[in-house]
């Protein structure tokens, strides 16, 4: 559900940049109260894991579409809403700058849709009331699934509203929303099941993480080494190898756009959109999670397209992107946490 710059106007993009920057400043201030020497590396490793997991698009049967997890809710359950928001912001920033996944102008919209709504709406207003103070496995499972579904529905509707306010005439509100909401209902259900499975694992391995996070407390002296090692290995395996098995079908947003316009994406206008497109072309050294490809003659392009259609798409460039992107995200999220921790001590 990463929005491209072509889907928004400069005014909407600017407003959403300002809004998410304000939320990030608020989160940075609040998170200092419960950051400790265990939560900081957990931010980094979870960021790496979610980055890698987002590379795996799963097919939605019978639709010709696919989806991937957003990860905001999972991060909020394990880190708390403020630290989770800073972590998902790190993920989406790395994706936009270095992998051309989501536009730079649209980055504020993407952070809001996949970060703010999951961390500050889905988690405290849906997940926590459903799970209660002493959640059973059944309540954790139910809360994870329902919060993921509702959070993604809100995010999908956010995309529709942002295109509406941007005056994107190619995407009329009624038609666009009737495609966006049902497909993201199915995607949200899969994300909910994945989130629930990971939460069940954490509950078994280190239930104190869930308990401390729910109360907004530092992790203290509890041991999380096993969780960190498991998640880091999972991130490397997911980004380095499982990413080959991602569905080649368009994601829910692209599928919805195609259903309205007949094209997977819209053409961006000139002006400031061109500026950000050129900037992203310079910063994205692994666009679309692969090595930059030189210009090819028509025959070579046809052969490359046939190879790309093969499944699984075994590709060293994809593996490099998955591993390097995960490590970059780990470093950024960890550095943010470390910086805030050091600032709080001064």
Measured distance CA(86)–CA(91) in Å, rounded:
9
User: How confident is the model at residue 223, as a pLDDT?
Assistant: 87
Residues above pLDDT 90, as percent of the chain: 82
Section 176-199 average pLDDT: 97
Domain extent listing, the chain: 5-345
User: With 60 as the cut, is the pLDDT of residue 94 above it?
Assistant: yes
User: Could you tell me the pTM of the whole model?
Assistant: 0.94
Check pLDDT > 70 for residue 304: no
* Gap between the terminal Cα atoms of the chain: 39
Average pLDDT, the chain: 92
Q: What is the pLDDT of residues 140-154, one digit of tens each?
A: 999 999 999 999 999
pLDDT tens, position by position, 219-278: 888 889 999 999 999 999 999 999 999 999 999 999 999 999 998 889 988 899 999 999
Residue 297: what pLDDT?
A: 62
The CATH code of the domain at 5-345 is: 1.10.1760.20
The 3-class SS string of 103-145 reads CCCCHHHHHHHHHHHHHHHHHHHHHHHHHCCCCCHHHHHHHHH
Residue 300 has pLDDT above 60, yes or no: no
Give the model confidence (pLDDT) of 28-69 as tens digits.
Answer: 999 987 788 889 999 999 999 999 999 999 999 999 999 999
User: What pLDDT, on the 0 to 100 scale, is given for residue 217?
Assistant: 87
* pLDDT reported for residue 84: 97
């Amino acid at each position: 559900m990463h929005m491209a710059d072509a889907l928004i106007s400069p005014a909407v993009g600017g407003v959403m940049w300002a809004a998410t920057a304000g939320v990030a400043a608020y989160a940075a201030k609040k998170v200092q109260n419960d950051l400790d020497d265990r939560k900081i590396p957990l931010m980094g490793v979870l960021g790496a894991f979610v980055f890698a997991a987002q590379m795996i698009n799963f097919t939605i049967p019978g639709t010709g579409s696919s989806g991937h997890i957003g990860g905001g809710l999972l991060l909020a359950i394990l880190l708390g809403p403020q630290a989770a928001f800073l972590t998902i912001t790190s993920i989406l920033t790395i994706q936009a700058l270095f992998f051309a996944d989501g536009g730079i102008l649209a980055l504020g919209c993407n952070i809001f849709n996949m970060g703010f709504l999951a961390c500050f709406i889905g988690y405290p207003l849906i997940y926590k009331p459903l799970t209660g103070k002493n959640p059973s496995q059944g309540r954790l499972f139910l809360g994870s699934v329902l919060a993921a579904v509702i959070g993604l529905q809100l995010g999908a509707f956010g995309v529709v509203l942002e295109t509406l306010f941007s005056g994107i005439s190619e995407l009329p509100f009624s038609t666009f929303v009737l495609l966006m909401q049902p497909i993201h209902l199915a995607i949200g259900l899969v994300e909910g099941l994945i989130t629930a499975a990971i939460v069940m694992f954490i509950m078994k391995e280190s239930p104190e993480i869930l308990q401390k996070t729910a109360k907004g407390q530092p992790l203290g002296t509890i041991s999380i080494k096993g969780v960190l090692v498991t998640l880091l290995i999972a991130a490397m395996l997911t980004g380095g190898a499982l990413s080959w098995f991602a569905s080649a079908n368009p994601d829910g947003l692209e599928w919805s756009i195609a259903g309205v316009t007949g094209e997977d994406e819209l053409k961006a206008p000139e002006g400031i959109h061109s500026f950000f497109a050129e900037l992203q072309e310079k910063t994205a050294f692994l666009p679309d999670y692969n090595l930059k490809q030189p210009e090819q003659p028509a025959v070579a392009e046809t052969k490359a397209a046939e190879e790309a259609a093969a499944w699984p798409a075994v590709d060293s460039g994809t593996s490099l992107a998955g591993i390097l992107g995960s490590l970059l995200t780990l470093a950024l999220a960890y550095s943010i946490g470390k910086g805030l921790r050091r600032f709080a001590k001064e």
